[in-house]
Amino acid sequence: MTTAAIIVAAGRGTRAGGDLPKQWQMLRGQSVAAHAMACFAAHPGISQLVLVLHPDDVDSTLWPREPETTVVTGGATRAASVQAGLAAVDPATTKVLIHDAARPLVTTELIDRVLAALETHQGAAPAVAVSDTLWHGADGLVDAVQDRVGLYRAQTPQGFHLVPLLAAHSASTGQETDDVAVARAAGLDVAIVPGDEDNVKITTPEDFDRVEKRMRAAMDMRVGNGYDVHRFGPGDHVWLCGVQIPHARSLQGHSDADVGMHAVTDAIYGALGKGDIGQHFPPSDPQWKGAASHIFLEHAVALAKSEGFSVNNVDCTLVCEHPKIGPHQDAMKAVMGAYMGLESDRISVKATTSEKLGFTGREEGIAAIATVMLVTP
C-alpha cells in the first residue's frame, strides 16, 4: 500500500506578519514549509510528496527543489487546494496524509501514529486534549464556563484512505476548515491519535519565537575537528580545498593530497564518531590512488545526512608559507560549498604561516586544521 503526503502551502498567512507568507519565512536556514516537507520526505512510509502552492508562488524560488516533489496550484479555499493535491497523487496511492505547511515541527513519531490508526479506521488525526478552563465571553466579560470534557485541539497531518476521502470532498460544501470536517460530514469515522504539544501551527509573529525555542531545545549539535599534513614533492601544482593552484612543487599522497579538503572531511567523520578518511578509504586500496578528494568529502556529507545531520558551517585553516591562499579563498569556498550543499558564507578558508618554524616553516609541506558543526534540522 502506498501513502502520499500533501503539504498545503497555498495560503497567504498575513496574520504572521513579515514580507513573505508565513510558510516561506526562514527558521534556522530553511523555510517553515521546507522543515515540514523534509520530515515527510524522509519517512519510509511516504511514497510521494505533493506540494500545493499559491499561483503566485509556482514559478518562484520560494519552494525547495529538493526533496523530489509533485507541485500543483491551489485554489481559493483550503478545500479547493486539498482537492488539487488529491488530484495529483499517484493512481496507485491508497492512503493520504494532509499537512499544514505552517507546522514545521511535525515528527516521524506523529506520522507513525496516524499511519498506524489508518490500519483500522477510515481516517485518523492527531489532537491534544484541552486542559485549560474555557470561557464564553461577551463585552469583555466572562458570561459562561465551557465544559472542556471531550474537547481537543486539532493538528495535522490528518490521514485518510484515499477513495472515501475523494468521495467526501466531492460531496463537501467547500467551506469546511479541515479534512476531518469534510470526512465527518460524509459519515467517515476519524480516530483521534495523541498529538504533540511541539507541533505548533504558526499563525502570529509570536509563534515564530515559540517554534524557534522548541527547535533550539530539540536540536542535536555535533562538533568535529580534523587535522592533516602532506609533504611536498616533484610537480607543478597543488590541490587545496578543491582548487588547483600553480606551484613549484606538488603535495604528495595516495589521493590528490588535498590537505584542506582532507581536514574538513575528517572533521565531519569526527563529529559523527565515524573515524577518519583512512578507515573509509584505505590507502592500501589501489582504487583510491590519485582519487579526487571531493569523493571523500561527499561521502562524509552523505553519511552525515543519512544519520539526520546537515553541515551547519566549516572553518578551515591552511598552514603554509607558500603558495599564497588569499587570491584563491573565494574559489575555495565556492567549490567546497558546492560539494557540501552549503552556502559559501557558511565556509571559512583562511591561511597562516608558522613564522618559518617547523616543517611548514621550512616549506617541506602544508598542514590544515578544520572544525565543522553538524546540526539536526
pLDDT for the residue numbered 275: 94
For residues 330, 331, 333, 338, the Cα torsion angle rounded to the nearest 10 degrees is 140
Number of domains forming the structure of the chain: 2
CA angle 151, 156, 160 (to 5 degrees): 100
CA distance linking residue 239 with residue 237, whole number of Å: 7
Looking at 218, 234, 259, the residue that finishes a domain is 218
On whether both 51 and 73 belong to a single domain, the answer is: yes
Asked whether residue 138 is domain-assigned, the answer is no
Asked whether residue 352 is domain-assigned, the answer is yes
Task: Give per-residue pLDDT as tens, 289-326.
Answer: 999 999 999 999 999 988 889 999 999 999 999 999 99
Q: Which residues are within 8 A (CB) of 57 and not within 5 positions of it... i.e. 6 or more apart?
A: 9, 10, 21, 24, 63
pLDDT for the residue numbered 15: 82
CA-to-CA dists, residue 146 to 162, 192, 197, 333, angstroms: 36, 21, 22, 60
Looking at 173, 199, 218, the residue that finishes a domain is 218
State which residues of the chain have pLDDT below 50: none
On whether both 82 and 190 belong to a single domain, the answer is: yes
What CATH code is carried by the domain that includes residue 287? 3.30.1330.50
pLDDT for the residue numbered 312: 94
Show the cell assigned to 246: 600553480
What CATH code is carried by the domain that includes residue 17? 3.90.550.10
pLDDT for the residue numbered 173: 87
Q: Which residues are within 8 A (CB) of 118 and not within 5 positions of it... i.e. 6 or more apart?
A: 95, 124, 159, 160, 161
Asked whether residue 154 is domain-assigned, the answer is yes
Residue with cell 500533501: 6
Asked whether residue 140 is domain-assigned, the answer is no
Looking at 169, 202, 218, the residue that finishes a domain is 218
On whether both 329 and 263 belong to a single domain, the answer is: yes
Is the pTM higher than 0.85? The answer reads: no
Angle, helix 32-42 to helix 108-117, in steps of 10 degrees: 60
On whether both 318 and 367 belong to a single domain, the answer is: yes
On whether both 182 and 245 belong to a single domain, the answer is: no
Angle, helix 78-87 to helix 162-170, in steps of 10 degrees: 140
DSSP category for residue 326: G
On whether both 107 and 240 belong to a single domain, the answer is: no
On whether both 51 and 96 belong to a single domain, the answer is: yes
- Which of 335, 333, 277 is closest to 303 using CA atoms? 277
Q: Which domain holds residue 344?
A: 221-375
pLDDT for the residue numbered 80: 94
Asked whether residue 331 is domain-assigned, the answer is yes
On whether both 302 and 277 belong to a single domain, the answer is: yes
